[in-house]
Structure 1
Amino acid sequence: MAVDLSFYKSHMSEEIRDEGREQGREQGRAQQGAQDVLLVLEQRGLAVSDAIRTRITECGDPEILRHWLARAVTAPAAEDIFEGE
């Protein structure tokens, strides 16, 4: 009994794998972005509450995390990175 494996070599199969890879890269960028924001806040000696840490680590948008990172460099308090949102 032979199993038809042609789907795994098909164009559709490649697209599905490519989408999965891109999602994985996006998640990796978001995780790294969250770590970067937290590192800057902590290195500056700012108190990072559990609520702030959760909000940062649960953010899946690398662009928002980049924005928060830029604010983290000069924010007087950790919660100020979210100002105006």
Structure 2
Amino acid sequence: MAVVGSYFPGRGTLVEETFLKGKAEGEVHSRVQGVLRVLEKRGITTPPETRARITDCTDLGTLDRWFDRAFTVSTTDELFAVEESDR
């Protein structure tokens, strides 16, 4: 039976760790840009402190939640509101 898995030359090395770190940073950057773009296209003002909070976030789950909310909120304060389902 053949084992199917990913193969990365130099697995377990600094090269792989650097690659994976870059990949994760790219995913975070993409989600941050998505949240900001949706807010911008919807005409929702994004003050500097709000923009900083979004761009400084590195948690993909939080960014996904903000992205989903960005489609329905009226203000950026609503973007960060804690809902019962988030607890």
TM-score range, shorter chain: 0.7 to 0.9
In 2: Cα distance, 1:41 partner to 1:26 partner: 23
Match of 2:32 in 1: 34
Deviation per CA, 1:8-64, whole angstroms, max 9, x where unpaired? xxxxx6412212111111100101100000000011001100001001011112221
1:75 is aligned to 2:60: no
1:23 is aligned to 2:21: yes
In 1: Cα distance, 2:21 partner to 2:51 partner: 23
Instruction: Structure 2: state its 5+ residue gaps.
Output: 1-9
TM-score by length of 2: 0.77
**Would you identify which runs of 4 or more consecutive aligned residues in structure 1 move more than 2 Å?**
none
In 2: Cα distance, 1:49 partner to 1:71 partner: 17
Match of 1:58 in 2: 56
- Bigger radius of gyration, 1 or 2? 1
Sequence identity percentage: 33
Instruction: Structure 1: state its 5+ residue gaps.
Output: 1-12
Relative to total residues, which structure has the larger helix share, 1 or 2? 1
> CA RMSD, aligned part only?
1.5
